[in-house]
Amino acid sequence: MSEQARQQAAQRGQWRRLPLIDSPRLRWGLAIGAVVYLFLALASVEVNWERVAEGAGRAVNFLGAFMQPDFVSRYDDIVAGLLESLTMTLTSTVLGVLLAIPVGLGAARNISPLPIYFVCRAIIAVSRTFQEIIIAILFVVMFGFGPFAGMITLAFATIGFMAKLLAEDIEDLDWRQVEAVRATGASWWQTMNHAVQPQVMPRLIGLSMYRLDINFRESSVIGIVGAGGIGATLNTSLSRYEYDTSAAILLIIIAIVLLCEYSSSHVRRWTQ
Amino acid sequence: MPVSTTPQGLPVWRRRTTRAQWLQYLAWLAGVSLFLLCWKMISDNTMWVFVEDAGRQGADLISRMTPPEWGYANVLWKPMWDTINIATLGTALGIMMAFPVAFLAARNTTPHPLVRSLALMVIVSSRSINSLIWAMLLVTILGPGVLAGIIAIALRSIGFVGKLLYEAIEEIHPTPVEAISATGASRLQVMNYGVLPQVMPAFAGISVYRWDINIRESTVLGLVGAGGIGLQLNASINSLAWDQVSVIFIMIFATVLVSEWISARVRHAII
């Protein structure tokens, strides 16, 4: 409906709100497509209702465990797992950010030559596509069980995340400052240091804090495939049906993530 | 600008005062020592023999993975369809639950501060627990299968969508809301005509973005038994059939690239 037709209809007292998608053909096409898809998808989901009914008791047990988490009986395992997770988080973030900086510089179209750009973009694509768990499986095969493989995994995932955002940041930086520094006869290195770095630094720090937070959350799961950290403890406790210990671990994870988020928002406010 | 003077009385420009400079050195020292301490703990828990061997192991792995056993792809269509269903249905379920939670959590639409803190707690706990952990819990409760995966993805999506949506609601323009309430509209009508149209584009964008992330996450849910291509991945890894694993990797890579492209296109069209 054109703007004028809408106006006239409104004057006659018939008013309808603007649709989210303008073109009616696309709108109806999407709606019909969604219904057909939903039908097909729901038809292919097989649910074993007997098993679900059987598990309902466990769900109640689990909720009960959340009311009374047990921090004590597996205290040593929890502390060891947590320490491993935290050290993995910190080292992997530091390593990942350090490695992400050159990759990010290379992946910014405005400052890097084409061949380097493609190589760096390929690194980013590979690191971003695969879930941390999949990368962890490969690195556990290569480096053996333990936190080292986990650290390398998280560092690798950090590279893709940070380098992509850093490159986007560099691509829309204020080019006049770069030109000004170049006009003084600065070398490439000096241009990076005095024109590019000050512009992207606040965002880089903010993103690193955010990534620290993500890495902690991820470090709690890569233990499932043997890459160390609290995930292994959690997995063991779940498969032994010690729900009260699992609840305790989950509560600790939530608390640490909250703390991370709170402090990272402070750091971001302070740097920007 | 802190300026100090040389003994000759000439002003010298410095970036920081002496105190700030020392504090900065100290902060660096603390940071580096913390890093080294953590590094040492990891290094103590590592079998360096295995790490030294990593290059050979990696080469061995690559030689086992190539050439990919393309015939295996025929088995993978159904699991891939399941994976996409987990992601899509999970996202749909998640945004349905996140929508009311976001309205309860936003400062300007919440009925009561107490309800707000409750909604924020839901968002935080959903966000801090990885979908794989949700899947582990749900597999023990619901039994292995696609359903556990869908619900795991949905539970994880509540936090993400809820957080971004309530931030969008808090940033809306107050004038349309005032205008609607000036006509004597009820609370629900104000939401419907004043708030909703303003957040709808953001909501659609966030949902598509989360769908894209969920495709990625649902590829691994099978590792803990929650259905999808991860089941096949787990089976192939356990039977050391690395040439099948590489086929799975290629399929995951292609699917994720396509979903990322779709999500980027849709978000571009909305914004």
* Mean pLDDT (chain A, rounded): 85
Same domain flag for A80 and A40: no
* Residues B216-220, mean pLDDT to the nearest whole number: 89
Block residue for tokens 């095969």: A141
In a domain, A52, yes or no: no
pLDDT given at position B26: 93
Nearest to A235 by CA among B46, B126, B139: B139
A92 and A19 together in one domain: no
In a shared domain, residues A175 and A40? no
Q: Measured between beta carbons, which residues in chain A are less than 8 angstroms from residue B45?
A: 84, 146-148, 228
The answer to whether residue B137 scores a pLDDT higher than 90 is no
Task: State pLDDT tens for residues A67-86.
Answer: 888 888 888 888 888 888 99
Say yes or no: A253 and A192 in one domain.
Answer: yes
CB-based contact B51 A143, cutoff 8 Å: yes
**B-proximal residues of A, 35-54, CB under 8 Å:** 37-38, 41-42, 44-48, 51-52, 54
Q: CB–CB of A74/B175 below 8 Å? A: no
DSSP annotation string for chain B: --EEE-TTS-EEE-SS-HHHHHHHHHHHHHHHHHHHHHHHHHHHTS-HHHHHTHHHHHHHHHHHH-S--GGGHHHHHHHHHHHHHHHHHHHHHHHHHHHHHHHHHSTTT-S-HHHHHHHHHHHHHHHHS-HHHHHHHHHHHH-SSHHHHHHHHHHHHHHHHHHHHHHHHHTS-HHHHHHHHHTT--HHHHIIIIIHHHHHHHHHHHHHHHHHHHHHHHTTGGGGT-SSHHHHHHHHHHTT-HHHHHHHHHHHHHHHHHHHHHHHHHHHHH-
Break chain B into its structural domains and give their ranges.
1-41, 76-270
Using the predicted structure, report yes or no on whether residue A98 has a pLDDT greater than 90: yes
Alpha-carbon distance values, A218 to A150, A221, A256, A268, B136 (Å): 10, 5, 13, 21, 15
* Residue in chain B lying closest to A93 (CA): B35
Asked if A47's CB is within 8 angstroms of B125's CB, the reply is no
Q: How confident is the model at residue B42 (pLDDT cuts 50, 70, 90)?
A: confident
Residue A108 lies in a domain: yes
Shortest distance, CA A46 to any CA of chain B (angstroms): 7
Q: What percent of chain B has pLDDT over 90?
A: 26
- Is residue B232 over pLDDT 70? yes
Tell me the average pLDDT across A1-19.
76
Angle (deg, nearest 10), helices A243-271 and A197-219 = 170
The answer to whether the CB of B133 falls within 8 A of the CB of A220 is: yes
Predicted local distance difference test score (pLDDT) of residue B1: 47
Q: Which fold has domain B76-270?
A: MetI-like fold (1.10.3720)
A151 found inside a domain? yes
pLDDT bin (cut points 50, 70, 90) of residue A158 is very high
Q: Contact B223/A225, CB-based, under 8 Å?
A: yes
Mean pLDDT of A184-198: 88
Q: Is residue A70 part of a domain?
A: no
Q: What is the pLDDT of residues A209-247, one digit of tens each?
A: 888 888 988 888 888 888 878 888 888 888 887 888 888
Residue A144 has a CB neighbour count (10 Å cut-off) of 19
Place of tokens 């630094």: A201
Give yes or no for B85 touching A (CB within 8 A). yes
One domain for residues A119 and A207: yes
| Domain span holding position A170 | 75-271
Whether the predicted pLDDT of A19 surpasses 80: no
Residues A94 and A17 in one domain: no
A125 and A232, same structural domain? yes
At residue A105, the 3 state secondary structure works out as helix
- CATH number, domain of A83, equals 1.10.3720.10
- Does A179 or A46 have the greater pLDDT score? A179
* A147 Cα to chain B: minimum distance (Å): 6
Question: Is residue A82 one of the residues assigned to a domain?
Answer: yes
Residue A57 included in any domain: no
Same domain, A150 and A102: yes
- Rounded distance, CA A113 to CA B81, Å? 40
pLDDT at A272 over 80: no
ipTM of the complex: 0.80
Any domain includes A223: yes
- What pLDDT is stored for residue B271 in this prediction? 67
Give a yes or no: residue A66 inside a domain. Answer: no
Residues A94 and A172 placed together within one structural domain of the fold = yes
Whether residue A107 sits in one domain with residue A16: no
